[in-house]
């Protein structure tokens, strides 16, 4: 019987040790979870800061496109018949078309029809210049620089 009592005491001691070990493990897991929450919060804060910096950088990019918008608009109004505003925006083919048609119109102006051709190309440039200047910076960038819309 004393062997049974010793065995029961040993089992009770082992059960107590197991409970104590489980409690320590649970406490340690709780501490680790708290640390993980803190790290996740720090990471989220850093991500928010990085996103904010990226947004500021994007705003500066759009603001720098404003100069191209104004330049293209003014050149379209003043020298639209020659297609200079198209070259500024990177539309070489369309710029060459306007330039060649205007030169042909100048050559044919002695016939009379050339004056109409030069007038039409000048009107196209004027309209495009006004459109460029009336669009918001973001719309201008998305339409003519990112979207590559060549006419009007």
pLDDT of residue 125: 93
Tokens describing residue 84: 């200079």
pLDDT of residue 5: 65
Cβ neighbourhood burial of 145 (10 Å; 0-12, 13-18, 19+):
middle
User: Residues near 27 by Cβ (< 8 Å), separated by ≥ 6?
Assistant: none
pLDDT of residue 84: 92
Residues 99-138 pLDDT 10s = 999 999 999 888 888 888 999 999 999 999 999 999 888 8
pLDDT of residue 64: 54
Q: Is the pLDDT of residue 96 over 70?
A: yes
Residues 34-91 pLDDT 10s = 887 787 678 667 767 766 676 666 555 544 544 688 999 999 999 999 999 999 888 9
């Amino acid at each position: 019987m004393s062997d049974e009592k010793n065995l029961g005491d040993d089992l009770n001691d082992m059960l107590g040790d197991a409970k104590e070990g489980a409690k320590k493990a649970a406490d340690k897991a709780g501490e680790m979870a708290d640390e993980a929450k803190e790290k996740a919060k720090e990471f989220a804060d850093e991500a928010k800061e990085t996103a904010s910096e990226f947004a500021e950088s994007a705003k500066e990019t759009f603001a720098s496109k404003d100069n191209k918008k104004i330049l293209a608009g003014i050149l379209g109004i003043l020298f639209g018949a020659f297609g200079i505003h198209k070259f500024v925006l990177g539309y070489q083919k369309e710029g060459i078309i306007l330039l060649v048609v205007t030169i042909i119109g100048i050559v044919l102006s002695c016939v009379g029809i050339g004056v109409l051709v030069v007038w039409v190309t000048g009107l196209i440039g004027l309209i495009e210049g006004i459109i460029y200047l009336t669009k918001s910076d973001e719309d201008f960038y998305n339409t003519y620089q990112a979207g590559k819309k060549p006419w009007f």
